[in-house]
Chains A and B, each alone.
Chain A
Amino acid sequence: MSEQQDLRTGWGSRLARFSMALFLFEGVSGLAITLSPFHAAVEWSVLLHTLAGIVILLPIAWYCAVHWDDYRRYTMSQVVFLGYIALIALLICSVSGVVVTWQGLFALSMSAVWRNVHLYSGIAVLVVTLPHLFIPLVRMWRKRQAVDAKRLIVVSVGVTAIGCLAALGLSSFYSGTEYVNEFPEDYAFLYGEDRPFAPSLARTETGGAFDSRVLAGSDSCGTSGCHAQILEEWRPSAHGYAAKDAAFQKIQSIMAEQNGPESTRYCGGCHDPISLFSGTKNIFVEDLTGLHGYNEGVSCLSCHAIHETDLQGNANYVVSQPSEYLYQWESEGFKRVLRDFLIRTYPDEHNKLSKRMYKAPEYCAACHKQFIDEEVNKVGWVQLQNQYDNWAASHWNQEGNPERTVECRECHMPLVDSNDPASGDAADYNRSPDDGKHRSHRFVASNNVMPQLLQIEGWEEQVRLTELWLQGRYEIPEISDKWGTGPIIGIDLEAPETIAPGESIPLRVILTSNKVGHDFPTGPLDIIQSWVELEVTDDHGTVIYTSGRRDERNYLEPGTFLFKVEPVDQYGNLIDRHNLWEMVGVRFRRALFPGFTDTVEFDIGCPSDIPRPPEGAATDDSVAAHTIPSTPAAKEYRIEAKLNYRKFDQFLLDYMFGEDAGLTAPPVEISSATTTVRVMDPSSRTGG
């Protein structure tokens, strides 16, 4: 027997064979995981790699200890030196492997540092171990003493091959959901087979259908506490209920009845992408919104799987089918643990769902810019709501100067304290990778109606924040230096300090857009209303003039000054049911451009100046409040003006849900102002 064969860790020892076999598998599978494209077999390799790592941990430690003991009295040589280096690398690799495994199983996310330590120490082990083994092997080969070594190599290569085949076998057994990316057989291609989703401009990367499950499954993002906070924010957001929005549903069904079911694809790109891409918006379909589409609206993946957008608007984006992790949609059980482990320890594919372009306002423009053209109304082009171009042309947009620019996300996705794995950002000018914050996915804006109407989980907070938002009381500390404070629309009153008895009061109500990043109000302005409510009382408390109040049916009183659009069809008839397929223009429109001012003039008749009601004033004798009562001579008039906002005009709500439903959009007071006007003492006037 040779000296080698006497060693406990010699080539022929079982310990060596066992350790070396798994060690080789770990090395090869580790390289495959690092270098191969994303594939189910690689995911299975990650799991096998981890399992083998756990199994090998102690044997290899033992092997190392004994091996060291076997050779520690040997004169230091290159082989011995390499052995010590390999031992150190292996130690680091093992410890980091344990940490990475631990984090993959029990932490919310995996530290990239530990992952890299594991990767690079592993490579170091491979690099150093090879010559450490190769040199004595060659020596033995020459002495024709390599019988045990050959056996060890055969066993190791064999085990590694079996491990790799096992990964391939498992991937053929299960590699994720089997999607059916096909249109229904009777799908109508009204605009040609190359434009299955027209008149929406939304497209899929393949040009074909996506199974409704492809972009759904938002809930799975919030399991294990990963993006739970973001999921909770998203649920009552306008993105979350974009499809289940009762108004959307109603209008979609009216559009289907009157203009054909396929025409509702126009709306689907932004409101209901899951149903659109799965071919649900088709003739003879029981429900134009499928279950996944209904529940998730603009789901997590509806945005995060978009990889290209165009500034044209009308949902001009391309969405791809994201790679799926094993057991991606599991929400509980061991399979979910495997899914979480894979996402955390093998995260590159998952990280592709976050793209730098999501910061750009141009990305939002894909849906926040809308128009009608001949494909929709058969007549011609009409601009609809367009928050993007409003913003782009406004003072909020200072290209190349983030300190003076306020972009979409900065207002509508303010930073919130976060324990989300995705918190922190190195790319934003006022953020850092470890700022412990994420951008809120509430997308707080102006809809204070639908979350409550639909009783979506968390609606109370959403409505509370929305109202704060509309009132300009929503603080965003990180942009307070450039965004300003106070009401989003300022209101000022200009009236003379004094008037002569019987004179009317010329009142100017000045409205200034302070904090709005686009037109105020912004569309759809056939539905949304903002108006001036005015009340003038004398010092006896008698109301002498009103405008902008709501009547018992919740309609605004005639003559109310309104920010809105009165859209019309070809014959000048009102577009009152959001029937955009008939809209060709507007009778009038009024909205405030960012930073601009609008002035409303009222001429308020005061008692003893009754004979002619003032311009622009509502003086219907049949309406009690408009009656100018005969009161004792007033010495002072108090004028109170408010700017109100409501999300839905009353007719639309009545039309959609019936007057009996008693639904009305609660108005929010955007801002208010008061002033007083004194009445000159007639005696002093006479005297003068």
Chain B
Amino acid sequence: MVSNRKRPLGRRRRKLYGTVAIVFAVAVVASLLSLYAFRASRTEEYRTGEQHSEITRALSRDIPDGAPLPRFVDVTEAAGLSGFRTFAGERTSQLPEDMGPGAAWGDFDGDGDDDLFLVSAGGPLTAAENDLAPSELFENLGDGTFARVEEFPETRIVGMSAAWGDHDGDGDLDLVVTGYDTLRLFRNDSGHFERDDEFASPQGYWAGASWSDFDRDGDLDLYICGYVQYVPDVSGKDRISSQYGRQIPYTLNPSSYKPERNLLFVNRGDGTFDEQAESRGVSNPDGRSLVALWHDLDDDGWPDLYVANDISDNALYLNREGRFEDASHAAWVADYRGAMGLAAGDWNRDGDDDLFVTHWVAQENALYDSRFVDDAGLESAEGAPLRFVDFADQRGLGQIALRSVGWGAEFFDFDADGWLDLAVANGSTFEEQTVPRHLTPELPFLFWNDHGRFFHDLAPLSDPFAVPRVARGLALADYDNDGDIDVLLIDGDGGGVRLLRNETEQGNWVQLSLRARVENGYGPAEGARVVAVAGDVAHRRAVSGVSYLSQSSRRLHVGLGPDRLESVEVHWPGGSVQHVTGLTGRSIWEIREGEPEPRLLAAPRPPLTREQVSEFWNVQRAAVHAMKAEEDLVTAIDLFHRALEIDPTHEDSIYYLGNCLAERGELDAALRRFEALMRLNRSSHRAFKRWGTLRAMSATSSVALKEAEEALARAVEINPEATGARMVLAETKIVQGDLEAARQSLRWIHGTNPSAGDALFLLAYLDWRQGDSRGARDLLRRAAETGEDWRPEGAAAEGDVKRTMHRETTLFAGIYASWDRSTDPGPAFAALEESVRGYRRF
């Protein structure tokens, strides 16, 4: 047995054991791997919205590397437009409540900046006129803010659109405003408006308004779109009807109503009109028209008319020397879809102007590319045919719009790279299941034109743009005259406006304000066209455009990209052509018809270069060091001036310079600086408080005191919880003799800060002034007891300092500081009384 066991294993058995061992080891490893593979390969539950690599999107594109970063800042509030409302009350689900409104930019006062008329949709159709939110005119103050023009005639309507046009040839812009059952013309006489009562206002639901001297007789005519023959019916909102397959209230469905005719007001030459739409064949009785665009699409010098119709075919009327020819179908633009807004521009720089049309939900927007130049060889008896082909899908403008309802739209070169970009306002017409019922907001589009190849929506890259809204109108203007085009969106459904200031990095650009000859000088040049040549590109622009119920600035902006401007050719509405040279880029020019020399209106500062930014901070840091550390005010003032030469809008720099000047006794100069800061930033508590304080301390008249009081009141309004401005305000009340107001302010200060010894001191003074010596003594005692709160040793507290480093600058701070804590009112108030008397002398 033993010897048997000592025999080596047979070859067969060794192989068997070895195989078993290897198989088992492999099995262990394989089971571990299998377990892992099993865990990793478990089928995951399907989630809606999953991304699948197998599903491709040929029509979408990644944003290319060269795309600009759109920078827009929402300045609505700072501009003073946040108070405007487009609706008062609750919707009653009736069509006229939801379709508007628009807005119109126009320089009504001729001061070189665009002012703004905001149309309000008013309110529910059931509301009384007085309850409707008013449409309002805002004057651009030139400092980035707007002020409502109080004397503009009150306009409470269920409003739709507005359009500026100098219909009486006096050189200033008049205004037409449309709405449900209303059509109003306001005559502008050197900035003063009056409603033209003689202007016919037929009943109807009037939408877009467009001015044009279509017959080239030297005066502006007016085309008005009629939407539908709406019948007010509150009960109709609960009846359901179908619109392109969607179930919506009957009263919100334009198909429920017959189309309204359009109107053509032909100017008689004296500012009065003759309505001739029907006789001229442009009443478009089958179209539910929303807006109409006058634009010379076939370059014959005569403005053609393209009408956007909702749920009915669009119409194109070619202008044949004053007569109209319906070319809707011949030109392939009789679009049957629900059209809202229109834009025109040569987006692909091929030498003819193209059209963009916004549509309803589930309908792609249309990019009608004009074949005019391409087809120039195909001349027929009528001349070159005008035809358009819809390129929306291929250029990124089609499918992206399927989920939204498009409204206002304009071509503009927001980054001045030489290619026309496109902004589109969106907002649904569907109601949400809310009480009260609201409409569904949607994101607007900001399409960047990638060198004519593709339009990329960059709105999501700009926070102020990427806000869903129930937008309707869209209008563009360089309201701050800084060279780039800013965007105004106006919302329906109880919204307001949004002014988005463009701060995108710009290429080279030029702006042209065209002034056509009128009887006694120069006036706006509606319909004029320019070709600006830069590099080897001819950029086409025209004074036209309606967006949706809106009007953009009539000043032309041409983005030139990297190129230098070489020449400009102006085609005036009257037919003359003018070549203009001597223009430089990055400037705003005025060109007058017949005057060879252009006038430079403005040359805004370009964005700071890196070197300038570096220099600014070096200078600014040196200035702050000189001011705060060295206390060398002369050097500091010089340095702050230098810093502000580089960046005139730097708030700290302005503020510090003002303070340095004040410390040096240069009061007027200091006040001017604080005024600049007050204009620059309406929420600058320090600017208003400092200005008010300095004004009060240096006052030599009651007017000055009043002005100081107003500034201080503004500071208190900006932050009513702070006590500093309230204290100086109380002091100005004392010196003006309004002791009760002062007492109230001082009590409030003491309520917020029971340790406010200065407030108690002045309250004591007021008691004493009113003969209550006992009360005064008591308050003086309490004032003398105020001081730092007791704290345990070693306990640090926020605000601890090693030495006092600030100075309370008020009218009486010095007097309070030198009070010896005596509670005898006579001596305690002697200095104060003298100071107050000094003020009381004027």
Residues in chain A within 8 A of chain B (CB atoms): 3, 6, 8, 54-55, 57-59, 62, 69, 73, 105, 257-260, 283-284, 286, 333-334, 337, 374, 377-386, 389-390, 392-394, 519, 522-525, 529, 547, 551, 555-556, 558-562, 565-574, 576, 582, 584-591, 593, 600-601, 613, 615-620, 649-651, 654-655, 658-660
Query: What is the distance, in angstroms, from A577's C-beta to the closest C-beta of chain B?
Result: 9
Contact A615 B808 (CB under 8 A): no
Q: Nearest B residue to A573 by beta-carbon distance?
A: B686
Contact B798 A385 (CB under 8 A): yes
Q: Could you tell me the distance between the alpha carbons of A617 and B752 in the complex, rounded to whole angstroms?
A: 10
Contact A559 B628 (CB under 8 A): no
B613 within 8 A of A: yes
A-B contact pairs, 29 of them (CB 8 A): A8-B9, A54-B25, A59-B25, A258-B650, A283-B614, A283-B617, A379-B805, A383-B796, A383-B798, A386-B798, A390-B796, A393-B792, A522-B798, A524-B798, A555-B719, A558-B748, A565-B799, A566-B723, A566-B724, A573-B724, A574-B686, A576-B685, A576-B686, A576-B722, A584-B806, A588-B755, A590-B789, A615-B750, A651-B718
Query: What is the distance, in angstroms, from B781's C-beta to the closest C-beta of chain A?
Result: 13
The residues of B that contact A380 with a CB separation of less than 8 Å are 801-803, 805
B807 within 8 A of A: yes
Q: Could you tell me the distance between the alpha carbons of A560 and B723 in the complex, rounded to whole angstroms?
A: 11
B804 within 8 A of A: yes
Which of A257, A283, A573, A658 is within 8 Å of B690, CB to CB? A573
B720 within 8 A of A: yes
Contact B719 A619 (CB under 8 A): no
Q: Nearest B residue to A614 by beta-carbon distance?
A: B747
Q: Could you tell me the distance between the alpha carbons of A651 and B14 in the complex, rounded to whole angstroms?
A: 88
A379, A618, A649, most chain B CB atoms within 10 A: A379
The residues of B that contact A260 with a CB separation of less than 8 Å are 617, 620-621
Q: Could you tell me the distance between the alpha carbons of A620 and B753 in the complex, rounded to whole angstroms?
A: 18
Query: What is the distance, in angstroms, from A327's C-beta to the closest C-beta of chain B?
Result: 15
Contact A659 B796 (CB under 8 A): no
Contact with A along B636-652 (1 / 0, CB 8 A): 00000000000000111
- In the complex with contacts A570-B806, A571-B806, A615-B750, A382-B686 CB distance below 8 A: no
Q: Could you tell me the distance between the alpha carbons of A562 and B719 in the complex, rounded to whole angstroms?
A: 14
The residues of B that contact A616 with a CB separation of less than 8 Å are 747, 750-751, 754
Contact B796 A386 (CB under 8 A): yes
Q: Could you tell me the distance between the alpha carbons of A555 and B726 in the complex, rounded to whole angstroms?
A: 15
Contact B723 A587 (CB under 8 A): yes
Q: Give the contact stretch, choosing among B74-82, B586-594, B699-707.
A: B74-82
B17 within 8 A of A: yes
B721 within 8 A of A: yes
Query: What is the distance, in angstroms, from B790's C-beta to the closest C-beta of chain A?
Result: 9
The residues of B that contact A556 with a CB separation of less than 8 Å are 720-721
- In the complex with contacts A655-B683, A658-B77, A660-B76, A379-B628 CB distance below 8 A: yes
Contact A588 B723 (CB under 8 A): yes
Known: A55-B29, A651-B718. 12 other contacts (CB 8 A): A379-B629, A382-B801, A389-B795, A561-B751, A572-B724, A572-B813, A573-B689, A587-B808, A588-B755, A590-B789, A616-B750, A620-B744
The residues of B that contact A105 with a CB separation of less than 8 Å are 32
B582 within 8 A of A: no
Query: What is the distance, in angstroms, from A453's C-beta to the closest C-beta of chain B?
Result: 14
Q: Nearest A residue to B802 by beta-carbon distance?
A: A381
Contact B798 A523 (CB under 8 A): yes
Q: Could you tell me the distance between the alpha carbons of A246 and B488 in the complex, rounded to whole angstroms?
A: 26
Q: Nearest B residue to A658 by beta-carbon distance?
A: B77
Contact A383 B28 (CB under 8 A): no
Q: Could you tell me the distance between the alpha carbons of A337 and B39 in the complex, rounded to whole angstroms?
A: 12
Q: Could you tell me the distance between the alpha carbons of A182 and B624 in the complex, rounded to whole angstroms?
A: 31
Q: Could you tell me the distance between the alpha carbons of A620 and B625 in the complex, rounded to whole angstroms?
A: 45
- In the complex with contacts A389-B795, A555-B720, A570-B751 CB distance below 8 A: no
Contact A382 B799 (CB under 8 A): yes
Query: What is the distance, in angstroms, from B592's C-beta to the closest C-beta of chain A?
Result: 40
Query: What is the distance, in angstroms, from A494's C-beta to the closest C-beta of chain B?
Result: 16
Q: Could you tell me the distance between the alpha carbons of A259 and B623 in the complex, rounded to whole angstroms?
A: 12
Q: Nearest A residue to B13 by beta-carbon distance?
A: A8
Q: Could you tell me the distance between the alpha carbons of A576 and B621 in the complex, rounded to whole angstroms?
A: 22
B797 within 8 A of A: yes
Q: Nearest A residue to B649 by beta-carbon distance?
A: A257
The residues of B that contact A58 with a CB separation of less than 8 Å are 21, 24-25, 28
Q: Could you tell me the distance between the alpha carbons of A576 and B686 in the complex, rounded to whole angstroms?
A: 9
Q: Could you tell me the distance between the alpha carbons of A244 and B370 in the complex, rounded to whole angstroms?
A: 48
Contact B28 A54 (CB under 8 A): yes
The residues of B that contact A654 with a CB separation of less than 8 Å are 683
Contact with A along B736-769 (1 / 0, CB 8 A): 0000000010011011111110000000000000
The residues of A that contact B725 with a CB separation of less than 8 Å are 574
Query: What is the distance, in angstroms, from B697's C-beta to the closest C-beta of chain A?
Result: 12
- In the complex with contacts A58-B25, A519-B797, A547-B791 CB distance below 8 A: no
The residues of A that contact B810 with a CB separation of less than 8 Å are 572
The residues of B that contact A389 with a CB separation of less than 8 Å are 794-796
Which of B719, B748, B797 is within 8 Å of A559, CB to CB? B748
Q: Nearest A residue to B37 by beta-carbon distance?
A: A334
Contact A378 B629 (CB under 8 A): yes
B690, B726, B807, most chain A CB atoms within 10 A: B807
Which 3 pairs across A and B sit closest by C-beta, in order of nearness? A559-B751, A586-B799, A383-B800
The residues of B that contact A385 with a CB separation of less than 8 Å are 798
The residues of B that contact A286 with a CB separation of less than 8 Å are 69
Contact B659 A565 (CB under 8 A): no
Q: Nearest B residue to A661 by beta-carbon distance?
A: B77
- In the complex with contacts A570-B806, A619-B744, A383-B801 CB distance below 8 A: yes
B595 within 8 A of A: no
Q: Nearest B residue to A98 by beta-carbon distance?
A: B28
Q: Nearest B residue to A381 by beta-carbon distance?
A: B802
Contact B721 A559 (CB under 8 A): no
Contact A561 B798 (CB under 8 A): no
